[in-house]
Amino acid sequence: MQKPILILGACGQIGTELTMELRAKHGAETVIASDIREGSESLMDSGPFELLDATNYEAIEDVVMHYEIDEVYLMAAMLSATAEKFPMRAWNLNMNSLFNVLNLAKERKIGKIFWPSSIAVFGPNTPTENTPQNTIMEPSTVYGISKLSGERWCEYYHEKFGVDVRSVRYPGLISWKTMPGGGTTDYAVEIYHKALEDGTYDCFLKPNTRLPMMYMDDAIRATINLMEVEPKKLSIRSSYNLGSMSFSPSEMAESIKQHLPNFEVGYTPDFRQQIADSWPSSIDDSVAKTDWGWQPQFDLDNTTKAMLGNLGPKKE
């Protein structure tokens, strides 16, 4: 029997779909959604919800005790583009929320943690193609610095205090249910909305900027699979590289044009170009494949079909 789960940051892009999937799997009452604000109607109506600030230790502890929570998924974070504008707010949110859950686990008030890291842990000196699990990591963004620090703390809490914390380095995530907010890879979601609404899109990255990306169904499957694996199979307690597909804005535009031939894309790179240029183009996720059997299912064409099919006009 699954013990109660708490999702912090349940109303965001990943949190919304993760909550719905875990509720479908374990029953609505087992999965407590929480966020600093209310989310979509379908999320709010589908099971228990608590208004909760992930930086407030006592408030999280109260909810953990009340529901006898065993697993926490910490999905609250400030992403790369917004974090460049508010460095201290990003550092405080991204680090304090992590310490809160790590300390709850250290005190044995919760049993298991999922915490997302990102391809942003890599930097301009990292090999960009097929970036290995262990390599040069010198992130040049506020967000990347917070994620790399977080990874080191996760491994430290595991080694020193036996905390069962698990993590993946998400690439850019593409989904249709909830918009992303404040990331450098957000163009890969906006482009589908604009293609359908206006037939044109002005991209904030250059046409040939290749980045690792993933369809949300794969990301949710990876997250839940990792949390279900026997602890002894996990050789990485910082964060696993997680790969699926890599493409550039112009390749994505071509994939959309297969379905919407009149779609037009312009390019006006802004400050996010520099962030994207510091990240890998593709990821070597062989350690995740060996340790816990990770296998992606969606490529760019499947993703485009799924996005346009779900966002587009519904056929009778």
> Could you say whether residue 79 binds ligand AKB (CB under 6 A)?
yes
163 vs 213, beta carbon nearer ligand AKB: 213
**Does residue 208 sit in helix, strand or coil?**
coil
Among 123, 172, 243, 280, binds ligand AKB (CB under 6 A): 172
Q: Does 185 bind ligand AKB (CB under 6 A)?
A: yes
- Is residue 106 within 8 A of residue 154, CB to CB? The reply is no
Smallest CA-to-CA distance from 284 within 106, 182, 133 is with 133
Residue selected from 4, 9, 47, 183 as contacting ligand AKB according to rule CB under 6 A: 183
| Residue closer to ligand AKB (CB basis): 110 or 276 | 276
Other beta carbons less than 10 A from residue 162's beta carbon: 11
Question: Number of C-alpha atoms within 13 angstroms, CB side, residue 188?
Answer: 28
122 near ligand AKB, rule: CB under 6 A: no
Of all residues in the shown chain, the one whose CB is closest to ligand AKB is: 183
DSSP conformation letters of 98-113: HHHHHHHHHTTS-SEE
- Pick from 80, 126, 238, 278 the residue near ligand AKB by CB under 6 A: 80
Kindly state whether residue 170 participates in binding ligand AKB, applying the rule CB under 6 A: yes
143 is known as an active-site residue: yes
User: By CB under 6 A, how many residues form the interface with ligand AKB?
Assistant: 11
- The enclosing H or E element of 157 equals helix 142-161
Q: Residue 63 or residue 154: which is nearer to ligand AKB going by CB?
A: 154
**Residues linked to residue 264 through DSSP beta bridges, in sequence order:** 200
- What's the sign of the alpha-carbon dihedral 284, 285, 289, 290? positive
Give catalytic residue positions.
143
Residues that bind ligand AKB (CB under 6 A): 79-80, 118-120, 143, 170, 172, 183-185
